Amino acid sequence: MTRRLLISAVVFCLSTSSLISAQQDTAKRPAPKKPDLELVATRQMDLDTDEGTWISLDVSPDGRTIVFDLLGDLYTMPITGGPATALTSGMMYDAQPRFSPDGKSIVFTSDRNGGDNVWTMDLTTKASRVVTQGKGVRYRSPTWTPDGKYIVVARAAGAIGP
């Protein structure tokens, strides 16, 4: 049990130092340039469904709304049911959304700038902001600290696959 706690503490410290490092790197960098590869959709498919699998979801702090990902797009929906409202759509793959403690924004992962990075979105304006920059790392499972001042995320080097 002690070993498990020690490992958890080390993972948390590594994740936190990665976030701090990413915040410092972002502060020193100039504005991001246009992605090297811009994909343009040549076809569109309309999908109407009332179920999904492999979904990440979170419940708002007030308990009235859920945010979830489905097929690379983000949605909100009343916890009591009803139609989902799209927050994002398009060629980018957005996933793993989590509400901020005040419920005013979400954090999520996205490949919209050419790599798997962490983004935030203001739920009132729908304005998105990149938190991390990188093409050679994978960020997963972002979440807010309870005070809403920081984002903790898991980081792994290298892409999946060959």
Q: Residue 16 domain-assigned? A: yes
- Residue 134 banded pLDDT, cuts 50, 70, 90: confident
The whole domain housing 147 covers 2-157
Q: Residue 42 domain-assigned? A: yes
Whether the predicted pLDDT of 30 surpasses 70? no
The partner residues of 34 in beta bridges, in order of sequence, read none
Q: Quick one: which H or E segment has residue 69?
A: strand 65-70
pLDDT tens, residue by residue, 61-101: 999 999 999 999 999 999 999 999 999 998 899 999 999 99
Q: What is the pLDDT of residue 4?
A: 46
- For the chain, the average pLDDT equals 81
What CATH number is associated with residue 53? 2.120.10.30
Q: What is the pLDDT of residue 68?
A: 98
The DSSP call for residue 15 is H
What is the average per-residue pLDDT within 116-140? 93
E-assigned strands of 80-127?
85-86, 94-99, 105-110, 117-122
Q: Residue 128 domain-assigned? A: yes
Q: Residue 162 domain-assigned? A: no
Separation of alpha carbons 123 and 67, rounded Å:
11
What is the average per-residue pLDDT within 45-50? 84
The number of domains in the chain is 1
Q: Residue 69 domain-assigned? A: yes
Q: Residue 72 domain-assigned? A: yes
